[in-house]
Amino acid sequence: MDLRASAESGHNNELTMTEERKITSTPVMEFYRDKCVLITGGTGFIGRLLIEKLLRVIGDYAVMKGLTCNQTVGRSVKAKFKINVRQIILLSRPKKGKTTQQRCDDLFSSIVFMNLKKDCPTFIERVKLVDADLQHPSLGLSDESIEYIVNNAQIVLHAASDVRFDQALKKAIEVNVRGTRDLLRIAEKIVNLELFVYISTAYSNCPQGLIKEQFYTPPSEPEKMIQLVEAMDERFEEHMNKTVNDFIHPWPNTYVYTKALTEDVVRQYGELLPIAVVRPSIVIATNEEPIGGWTDNIYGLNGVIAGVALGIIRIMHVDDNNKADIIPADIVVNTVLAAGWQTYVERKGDRPLPEAKTNGELKGVAKPRTKIYNCVTGNDNPISYQKIYKYSIEVGKHCPPKKSLWIVCHNTTTNKYLYEFYKVIYHLLPALLIDTYLRVIRRTPRVMDLYRKVHKFATVIEYFANGRWTFENDNLKSLREKLSPDDQIMFQCNIQKIEWADYFWTYIHGLRKHIANEPLENLDEAIKRHKQMRIVHYFILAAYYSIWALLIFYLCKAVGMLVF
Tens digit of pLDDT for each residue in 62-109? 444 444 344 444 444 444 456 789 999 999 988 878 888 888 888 999
Percent of the chain exceeding pLDDT 90 equals: 72
Tens digit of pLDDT for each residue in 152-172? 999 999 999 999 999 999 999
Per-residue pLDDT, 492: 95
Tens digit of pLDDT for each residue in 234-246? 899 999 999 999 9
Per-residue pLDDT, 357: 46
3-state helix, strand, coil in the chain (%, to 5): 50, 10, 35
In whole angstroms, what separates CA 370 from the centre of its chain? 24
In whole angstroms, what separates CA 230 from the centre of its chain? 29
- DSSP class of residue 364 equals S
Strand runs labelled E in 41-86: 62-65
What average pLDDT does this structure show over 306-324? 93
H or E segment and range at residue 264: helix 254-269
CA gap 358, 355 in Å, rounded: 5
For the ranges 137-146, 269-278, 345-354, the lowest mean pLDDT is seen at: 345-354
Tens digit of pLDDT for each residue in 172-198? 999 999 999 999 999 999 999 999 999
What type of residue is 409?
C
Per-residue pLDDT, 555: 85
Percent of the chain exceeding pLDDT 70 equals: 87
Per-residue pLDDT, 292: 94
DSSP 16-47: --S-EEEE---HHHHHHTT-EEEEESTTSHHH
Per-residue pLDDT, 18: 36
Contacts 24+ apart (CB under 8 A), 434-441: none
CA gap 284, 301 in Å, rounded: 7
Q: Residue-wise over 247-284: b if at least 16 C-beta within 10 A, else e?
A: ebeebbbbbbbbbbbbbbbbbebbbbbbbbbbbbbbbb
Domain boundaries, the chain: 11-290+325-377+470-493, 530-564
Tens digit of pLDDT for each residue in 363-416? 444 556 899 999 999 999 999 999 999 999 999 999 999 988 888 888 999 999
Residue 424's Cβ-count burial label (10 Å; 0-12, 13-18, 19+) is: exposed
Whether the predicted pLDDT of 469 surpasses 90: yes
Whether the predicted pLDDT of 353 surpasses 50: no
Per-residue pLDDT, 121: 84
Domain 11-290+325-377+470-493 CATH superfamily: NAD(P)-binding Rossmann-like Domain (3.40.50.720)
Whether the predicted pLDDT of 456 surpasses 70: yes
CA terminus-to-terminus distance, the chain: 54
Whether the predicted pLDDT of 261 surpasses 80: yes
On average, the pLDDT of the chain sits at: 87
CA gap 212, 210 in Å, rounded: 6
Q: Name the pTM for this structure.
A: 0.89
Per-residue pLDDT, 561: 66
Per-residue pLDDT, 140: 95
